Amino acid sequence: MDTLEKRIEEALAYIRPYLQSDGGDVELVSVEDGIVKIRWKGYCAICNKNTFTINGIAETIKEFVPEVQEVIEITE
């Protein structure tokens, strides 16, 4: 794992307890050209507030890793 991915994982580790307290989680799928792809897990996969949650996750990741341009969710 390169340092970029490591820093993104640190950002997700910071967020993870909040997600897990509601029965959800998030997984880093890939990082390419400043775009971070995540996958929802647990309750987050069916929650109707994912748009709000992903905005918060994107803000946090960008604080930890300023070179990230976008965070998107994948469903596959």
Q: What is the pLDDT of residues 17-44, one digit of tens each?
A: 999 998 999 999 999 999 999 999 988 8
Q: What is the pLDDT of residue 52?
A: 81
Only one residue has tokens 């307290």, namely: 21
Crossing angle between the packed helical segments 3-21 and 50-64, to the nearest 10 degrees: 140
- Which band of pLDDT confidence, cut at 50, 70 and 90, is reported for residue 2? low
Residue 7 corresponds to which tokens in the numbers above? 């820093």
Give the start-to-end residue ranges of the domains of the chain: 3-73
Residue 69 corresponds to which tokens in the numbers above? 């341009």
Q: What is the pLDDT of residue 47?
A: 81
Domain 3-73 has CATH 2.130.10.10: no
Residue 66 identity: P
pLDDT digits (tens, 9 = 90+) for 8-21: 999 999 999 999 99
